[in-house]
Homo-oligomer: A and B are copies of this chain.
């Protein structure tokens, strides 16, 4: 494969001139410019981008850290990141972690090694001190409330959203409310949990362990929830479900079991995916794609200007009222 030196030789110019032509810099005589392009054509030359990366000290690649690539929640975020990255000529390196510390560390190491210029962490399990170690190696944006810590972040106000949903259910007369969540660890989950407990406290209800369903991520998890709900001696009359996917599962398997929604069981969900519309599930619209877009922009701005306009941005959810409550 030809390199810039060969081009220089064939075109009868210096490598510096070739580089100038290749990168569209001024101050090159039209004649030489042409000679260079001809040589490029003739030798079927292309830049070796690794050499560019090394020389420039940057890659125009942003790393995306997420537990599962194949979940609509993260799919929506990645979509938002991807769209914006495309606009600015950046590429995306995917780090699927399955919430394994090792994998997350690897992504952070890649930032240090300059494999990526910046990192967007959609969800994590590593502790703050670990992230702190890497924060001088490049911009890191987290999709969670970092509560004043010295890292960039764009996040959805899950506390408010959950609280809002709880109040909505209470206004409809519900007092016995359970909830379904993907995992109980993690900032976002904690925020939701806090809202749940706070809301219950307000009406002097004490939370019950058996009304909290963990590991709810996919449609099929709704089946499990329905079965467990059916087996409950005392049942909640409403369920707050952190994902439309799971809510859809609950509604669908619930129907098959003859459960009337919302009469027997009200379902209030989050995300506002198309499936929620199709099933007429009341949900909170979460601006996931927007969050991805904003996360990328933060990285981008940091990279290009070195400045940070806003260190942290909070995004609000929006009620989509349908008939599952």
The complex places the Cα of A115 from the Cα of B61 at a distance, in Å, of 10
Number of interface residues of A (CB under 8 A): 49
A-B contact list, 19 entries, CB within 8 Å:
A48-B54, A49-B113, A49-B114, A50-B54, A53-B53, A69-B78, A70-B75, A70-B76, A70-B78, A71-B75, A79-B96, A86-B103, A91-B94, A92-B93, A219-B275, A220-B274, A249-B274, A249-B278, A275-B275
Interface contact A82-B53, CB-CB below 8 Å: no
Which residues 188-240 of A sit at the B interface, judged by CB distance below 8 A?
A: 218-220, 222-223
The complex places the Cα of A114 from the Cα of B49 at a distance, in Å, of 6
A253 at the interface (CB under 8 A from B): yes
The complex places the Cα of A78 from the Cα of B54 at a distance, in Å, of 29
Which residues 17-66 of A sit at the B interface, judged by CB distance below 8 A?
A: 46-51, 53-54, 59, 61
Given A59-B50, A278-B220, the answer on whether A93 and B96 have CB atoms closer than 8 Å is: no
Interface contact A75-B86, CB-CB below 8 Å: no
Residues of B within 8 A of A109 (CB): 46
Residues of B within 8 A of A277 (CB): 219-220
Closest approach, in angstroms, between the C-beta of A280 and any C-beta of chain B? 8
Q: Please, what's the 1-or-0 string for A99-118, where 1 marks a CB less than 8 Å from any CB in chain B?
A: 00001000001101111000
Interface contact B50-A115, CB-CB below 8 Å: yes
A275 CB contact (under 8 Å) in B53, B59, B248: B248
A320 at the interface (CB under 8 A from B): no
Closest approach, in angstroms, between the C-beta of A276 and any C-beta of chain B? 10
Q: Please, what's the 1-or-0 string for A250-294, where 1 marks a CB less than 8 Å from any CB in chain B?
A: 001100000000000000000000110111000000000000000
Residues of B within 8 A of A46 (CB): 109, 112-113
The complex places the Cα of A82 from the Cα of B69 at a distance, in Å, of 8
Closest approach, in angstroms, between the C-beta of A304 and any C-beta of chain B? 19
A182 at the interface (CB under 8 A from B): no
Closest approach, in angstroms, between the C-beta of A136 and any C-beta of chain B? 10
The complex places the Cα of A249 from the Cα of B219 at a distance, in Å, of 15
Q: Please, what's the 1-or-0 string for A71-88, where 1 marks a CB less than 8 Å from any CB in chain B?
A: 110011011001100100
The complex places the Cα of A252 from the Cα of B279 at a distance, in Å, of 7
A94 CB contact (under 8 Å) in B92, B249, B278, B279: B92
The complex places the Cα of A221 from the Cα of B63 at a distance, in Å, of 32
Given A79-B69, A219-B275, A278-B248, the answer on whether A50 and B86 have CB atoms closer than 8 Å is: no
Interface contact A70-B61, CB-CB below 8 Å: no
Interface contact B220-A114, CB-CB below 8 Å: no
Closest approach, in angstroms, between the C-beta of A92 and any C-beta of chain B? 5
Interface contact B48-A50, CB-CB below 8 Å: no
Most B CB within 10 A of own CB, among A86, A115, A222, A223? A115
The complex places the Cα of A109 from the Cα of B45 at a distance, in Å, of 11
Interface contact A47-B219, CB-CB below 8 Å: no
A110 CB contact (under 8 Å) in B49, B93, B96: B49
**In the A-B complex, the 4 residue pairs with the closest CB atoms:** A70-B75, A49-B113, A70-B79, A50-B53
